[in-house]
Structure 1
Amino acid sequence: MKKNSLVSKLLITFTAIIAFTFIIIATVLSMWFEDYYYEDTHRILKGQSELVKNAFVDWYNNKSAAALGELQNIINFVANTTNSDIIVTGRNRGILAVSNGSLQTGGYLGIGNDINVLMEGNSIVKETVYDESFGRKSYVYMTPIFREKLFSGVILMSIPTEDIMTPIKKVYTIIWITAILALTASSIVIYYFAQKILITPLSKINVAARKLSKGEVDKRVYVETNDEIGELAESFNTMADSLAEVEKNRRDFISNVSHELRTPITSIKGFVAGIMDGVIPKDKEGYYMKIVYDEITRLSRLVNELLDLSAMEAGKLILKFSEFDINEIIRICIINLEPKIKHKKLEVDVVLEGDHLYVNGDRDRLIQVVTNLADNAVKYSNEGGYIRVTSKSRGSKAYISIYNDGPAISEEDMKNIWDRFYKADKSRTNKVSTGLGLSIVRNILTQHGEEIWAENKTPEKGVTFTFTLKKK
């Protein structure tokens, strides 16, 4: 995985977020546990101090050696139970007893101004202070002793800070080690799933994209997921299919152009060479020059149509919209095709809606559309056949239909008739068709925002081409 890749940045970001979260949780848990431990210590010392208070009151009331011994025993028991050192004083702060010791005489507990707080009946807690009584840092709990509402003494309970912090530090260690282990495990899990869900599929797509850029248009990506990565792979495959289709069309286009250009050029070259070499008799030169002229005309038409089609597909065709009579255009186009119509002895019916039917569009380009479709009808009509051209309006649209009674178009051919250089009957149309006419027609109408379609009259005979135009 690359250092600066998107996936590595995501992993670093997710890991940083998780690490920050674990640090916050560990810190809060540590602080909470420390507070809880001190509160629990205070609660325990407060509860145990009640035993000492009761024993002190018994001793104070009896003033007997037995009662004093019982007080000492209870102090020792509480000290061992709470792991603390205990000092008990009288009201004048003279030390009466200490834990695990004997009766103290002459000792004095120096608690300064704290005595005023204690005499008011309040307990005092000091966390992590220097305890002068035992000469160390300690957790100190002091509570007053009252007998019949009279201040009678003080109980001082002291636990070394080190004894309190030892279990807290152990808990700290457990919390932070757990956080580190959880962070490590989370990072491993994130990397594993990132490898499976992101890195591997993206790597496949990246490798396929590189190969596709080098011309290997057959490369595909197979990612069986229903998430965004799966959609990306599917989109990539769709793009690859489109590029493969474009590449196929490009090769077919080059092949078709080469063939269409080679045929007239070969004919021209052959006839011209024959005339120059004297192979063709003088009285036949005019005939063959006429063939050469026809081939040059066909070649010129092919080049012009290729240029037109290229401009249309590149979106560079500039249309000049105006209002004109489509019925007039139909009449002009049929008149221009009259020599071809008479040559094939065709019957042509022109059925127009009214004398005039005004539409909006590029007049010159739509003349090209009608001419191409009518010429196509003439080419495919049988000798002595029938052609019908109609115009009619429906709503805001004008519908122009051109029918010929030639052979029906097969279902397979119907899918391809709009493709460049496609010829349903290549042997019959090789010399009279470039295979670009219908492609040009559809592109012109598409630029107008209109539609064109073809349909068979019957499965065996008759084809109608219909297109729409916007009425004035």
Structure 2
Amino acid sequence: MRARLTLGFFTITLAAVALVSVAVLPGLQSRLIDAKLADLAELARQYAPELRKAVGTSLPQSELQDLVGRTADLTGSRVSVLLVVTSDGEITVEAGTDSATERDITLDFSVAIEAATSGRVSRGTEAGPNGQVGEVAVPFLFRNPESGRRRVGRVAVFSSPLRDVEASVAVVRDRTLVAGSAASLLALLAGFLVARRLTRRLEAVQAGAGRVAGGDFSARFPVDREDEIGELARTLDNMRRQLAELDSARKRFIATASHELRTPIFSLGGFLELLADEELDPQTRQEFLRHVRAQVDRLSRLAVDLLDLSKLEAGSLELRPESTDVAELARRVAHEFHPALAAHDSHLEVRVPEDVVEVDCDPERVAQVMRILIDNAITHTPSGTDMVVSASRRGDAVRFGVGDFGPGIRRAMLPHIFEPFITSDDAQGSGLGLAIAHELAERMAGELLVESQPGRTTFTLQLPARPTPPRPAAPPVVTEA
């Protein structure tokens, strides 16, 4: 990656230099030539009239040559006065008076033919023995004594080498190449340094990811800069924390599950050894058998809870929603706990509306959540603690509530109350019930909430309700179970 980034910087710089050389320099040369020709045309406009007066008169050739030479000296250009010849309809030009020496007269003066043909000033360039030459041709019109028509008889050509333009362009080209070479080297160095820094940061992220993949969740992804790599490091660090929490929860789950399974198994083993004693009296034997049945029931509940929780976490638990009267459901579940409430010396108050309140849900799973909540209240409150079960509709939601007037849940436990194997006290229980209830609530597109303070704890299952026609409000019916 480092080599690719470095090469990328270098290539971009070379491309920029090449673009300047290809796109800018030709345009610069063209503009400089145009400016040179414009200056030459201005000089021709100033000095051509004087030549026009002298050409075609009885002025001696020597004096005309002197005039052309002086004009060339004043304009700083070569001045050539050419004779226009028409033969078979074709216009050509012949050498006439010239300010240049004989050895310099090697130009074709194609602009002169163009000016003779159009009768207007013409400008252009042509290649000379020493480089490009800029030319401006001015036609001289004369009246034909036979036809009386005006025609081009002479053409004055002002020409000047374009060596200064070529030299200026060459200087710019050379400086561009030098600057481009220096910029390419700097880009190569800068690309190497930037690439090395980026690759070092990416290598650090890669090393941290490798450690996390190997199970070392103490690895860190430092965020040293607020850029894309920093965002990547922050995201990976959040992933690492979540994986660490999941790994810790997994280990805690295994340890707690092992403990929950080991305790009744060891108890069963002890009772079975005692039952093998043939000298046990019938009353003691029946007591031991009662304890064995209790431990078997405990193992059965734990196995069912673990199975339900694994199905919920895997998303394989199937829901069977149907139209359900929540008031009737609350009454039925509360009635199931009449023996347990009697043994706990507690009263359960059921607060439900008299009218039918329907919701599309899986009645068995809703009943399972309510059983978990009521059983949780009985298990974790002192004997004689009163409880309340409610069901009502508020707007687009149906709410089931299970509350008790016990000592409450410690504030530090509230954020973890729905985690597996978490119990708020040392009472019996696997700690899976509330985790299952919470998962069931989410599977049913609802939520399970808890509010607790000394003297009052309330768990609320909230589910979306289907629209029903408005009915007159009725006072709640209060019953006791």
Question: Is 1:382 aligned to residue 382 of structure 2?
Answer: yes
Contact 1:271 1:288 in 2 (8 A): yes
Q: With the length of structure 2 as denominator, give the TM-score of the two structures.
A: 0.75
Question: Is 1:212 aligned to residue 212 of structure 2?
Answer: yes
Contact 1:55 1:67 in 2 (8 A): no
Superposition map of 1:72-471 within 5 A? 74=70, 77=73, 81-82=76-77, 87-88=80-81, 93=94, 95-99=96-100, 117-118=115-116, 121-123=119-121, 125=123, 127-129=125-127, 139=133, 141=135, 143-144=137-138, 146=140, 153-156=154-157, 165-182=166-183, 185=186, 199=199, 201-276=201-276, 278=277, 281=280, 284-354=284-354, 358-395=358-395, 397-426=397-426, 429=427, 432-456=428-452, 459-469=453-463, 470=465
Q: With the length of structure 1 as denominator, give the TM-score of the two structures.
A: 0.77
What letter corresponds to residue 37 of structure 1 in structure 2? Answer: L
How far apart in 1 are the matches of 2:162 and 2:181?
28
Contact 1:89 1:109 in 2 (8 A): no
Deviation at 1:314, TM superposition (A): 1.7
What letter corresponds to residue 387 of structure 1 in structure 2? Answer: M
Contact 1:350 1:389 in 2 (8 A): yes
Contact 1:52 1:71 in 2 (8 A): no
Contact 2:111 2:123 in 1 (8 A): no
Match 1:33 to one of 28, 38, 41: 28
Deviation at 1:202, TM superposition (A): 4.1
- Find the residue that maps to 1:463 and give its secondary structure: strand
1:58-105 deviations in whole A, cap 9, x for unaligned?
Answer: 6987947995685375266358x44x5x55567895644543689xxx
Q: What is the identity percentage for the equivalent residue pairs of Structure 1 and Structure 2?
A: 23
Give unmatched runs, 5+ long, in structure 2.
Answer: 86-93, 144-149, 469-481
| 1:312–1:118 Cα change, 3 Å | same
The count of aligned residue pairs is 448
Deviation at 1:307, TM superposition (A): 0.7
How far apart in 2 are the matches of 1:109 and 1:213?
82
Deviation at 1:336, TM superposition (A): 3.6
| 1:227–1:116 Cα change, 3 Å | closer
Deviation at 1:262, TM superposition (A): 1.6
Give unmatched runs, 5+ long, in structure 1.
Answer: none
* Larger relative contact order (Cα-Cα within 8 Å, sequence gap ≥ 6): 2
Contact 2:377 2:403 in 1 (8 A): yes
| 1:72–1:263 Cα change, 3 Å | same
Contact 2:2 2:195 in 1 (8 A): no
Deviation at 1:257, TM superposition (A): 0.9
What letter corresponds to residue 170 of structure 2 in structure 1? Answer: K
| 1:332–1:97 Cα change, 3 Å | closer
Partner residue, 1:54? 50
Deviation at 1:349, TM superposition (A): 3.3
1:263-286 deviations in whole A, cap 9, x for unaligned?
Answer: 11222233334555x598465444
How far apart in 2 are the matches of 1:18 and 1:37?
27
How far apart in 2 are the matches of 1:183 and 1:264?
78
1:107-158 deviations in whole A, cap 9, x for unaligned?
Answer: 99987995684386545555334x6xxx777526363574988967554556
What letter corresponds to residue 440 of structure 1 in structure 2? Answer: I
